[in-house]
Chain A
Amino acid sequence: MTAVPSRTRARTDTDPLWLRVLALTLVIGFLGVMILLPLATVFVQGLSRGLAPAWAAIREHDALAALQLTLLIAAISVPFNAVFGVCASWAVAKHDFPGKSLLVSLIDLPFSVSPVVAGLIYVLVFGLQGWFGPWLQAHNISIIFAVPGIVLATIFVTFPFVARELIPLMEAQGTDEEEAAVSMGASGLMTFLRVTAPNIRWGLAYGVLLCNARAMGEFGAVSVVSGHIRGRTDTMPLHVEILYNEYDFVGAFAVAGLLCLMALGTLALKALLEIARPELDSHGV
């Protein structure tokens, strides 16, 4: 950071031109090499033999099954985490209780756990050698190497997203409006629906958006619990890996391109939310 001029916003224009150009060039070079080139690589590789093979790779049976599974996983894990996030932030932001900061740290815990470990823990609990493995097998229930395990692992890695977004927002809003509603006789549920929900809906949308992007893109955790049964337990990112390892680069990058388009859609929605609600822009992580 030492190379950066510390001029005020008003004075930035009077900074030496070479310094501004140098800083801008460095940043554009960095983002170009780290972000734009990888993005371009996906589309160029995916379309290297034209549109038809890429389209065929996406329309292929296993790819469609993977797409369906990915959407199913997101459709279960995202609402689950949204409900949890609202509950947790209601408890944390609107009340005081001992151990609150510990609770917040524990909610954030999944962010500092490797995705592979996130998969491993469910294998240890529900896998054949795991705590409930023998019981589950006796009752013919499969969790690991099946859809429930993928859902659990996805919930784990996306666990903090919504709560993290809502807690600071709800803390900043305080409890005055809720207290007023309650003192005028509104029930708790009514207070939440009529008073709190309208205040947090954009923050919730923002958290859900980030949660959904990670849920559809998770690889490490899902890879451990999925078992890689083609057309059955392969999500889109796992399908990309399989195609790539089979040297089907056009196919791998075609499916990856579809995931890229989803990611770019996420970023576009996020930018729209930030333009509509500038207060959301203050905590991007």
Chain B
Amino acid sequence: MATATADRGRPWRRRSAVPGLGLTLGVTVSILSLVVLIPLAAVAARGLSLSPESFARVAFSQRAVHAYLLSLGTALIAAVINALLGVLTAWVLVRNRFPGRRLLDSLVDLPFALPTAVAGISLATLYGPNGWLGAPLARAGITFANNAGGIIIALTFIGLPFVVRTVEPVLRDLAADVEEASASLGATRLQTLIRVVAPSLAPAWITGFALAFARGVGEYGSVIFIAGNMPYRSEITPLLITIELEQFDYAAASAIALVMLGLSFALLLIVNTGQAWMRRSTEA
């Protein structure tokens, strides 16, 4: 790309010979502002229009705090399940050839393509008292009605593709000869795994985990059918927001939404910072 020193008045801008920056950037920023940024600002404006005392009262009521903890906890557990089984799935799909592999690989994306409400009613039926899995589990004394278990199942479904799809390309590109070299230099399999495979996999793995987690915290459609939605027990944060909305308490809905947005951004920030730190330390 040509760096034009003659670009007077805008020394910061490396001028590209490709035209259309002004037009496309203008359209992009305008649409982004109108569709995403200004409406999102409305939540902040409405939520913060409350006095600090009433904000604290609605956003940190006992019921709301239960909902935050439940949403974060179940999303975290589901993301951990997906991180572990997702990396195993990616490994099996990349490193093995077996009949039906291509089909299995395609089906991993089903949670992206299937409407969440469909997943919701299907999981609720499957794990319900008369379901194929729910009935035998109920006989064994395990139920998923009105507790966090059902929510974790739904969030595991929703988050399943993220880890597989972020880790898969890295695993595929990870040159087999690097591992072979490590093995031929006398490393045990476990050493190769920890010293060679894990460091190259980690950034993608954490990205997949963070995406699955962020999706889980906000998920609504697949959860509400299976969760039973009992306050203080199985009521997730997005559901609480819709309940406030149905009572036309927009300020309370906004306050809870603000806390939720803050929590998920803070967690994503932590993950991103950790990842940047890790990348620096592996490069060093």
Contact = CB atoms under 8 A, between A and B. Distances in A.
25 contacts: A6-B189, A6-B196, A10-B176, A34-B156, A34-B160, A35-B157, A45-B125, A87-B27, A87-B28, A95-B16, A107-B28, A107-B32, A111-B214, A114-B264, A116-B241, A124-B43, A159-B36, A217-B113, A219-B115, A219-B116, A253-B121, A259-B118, A267-B106, A282-B169, A283-B169
B1 interface: yes
B25 A97 contact: yes
Per DSSP, chain B at the interface is helix
Contacts of B28: 84, 87-88, 91-92, 103, 107
Interface residues of A, number: 110
A216 B32 CA distance: 22
Interface string B13-31: 1101111110111011101
B18 A179 contact: yes
A62 interface: no
B273 to A, nearest CB: 14
B36 A109 contact: yes
B268 A237 contact: no
A133 to B, nearest CB: 10
Per DSSP, chain A at the interface is helix
Nearest to A183: B17
Contacts of A152: 35
Interface residues of B, number: 113
B104 interface: yes
Interface of A: 1-12, 20, 23-24, 26-28, 30-31, 33-39, 41-42, 45, 84, 87-88, 90-92, 94-98, 103, 106-107, 109-117, 120-125, 127, 129-131, 152, 155-156, 159, 175, 178-179, 182-183, 187-188, 191-192, 210, 213-214, 216-220, 223-224, 236-238, 240-241, 244, 249, 252-253, 256, 259-260, 263-264, 266-268, 270-271, 281-285
A8 B250 contact: no
A122 B14 contact: no
Interface stretch (B81-89, B138-146, B275-283): B81-89
A131 B220 CA distance: 26
Contacts, number: 332
Contact of A8 (B20, B102, B177, B190): B177
Given A90-B24, A127-B250, A218-B115, A191 B121 contact: no
A106 B32 contact: yes
B107 A267 contact: yes
A95 B115 contact: no
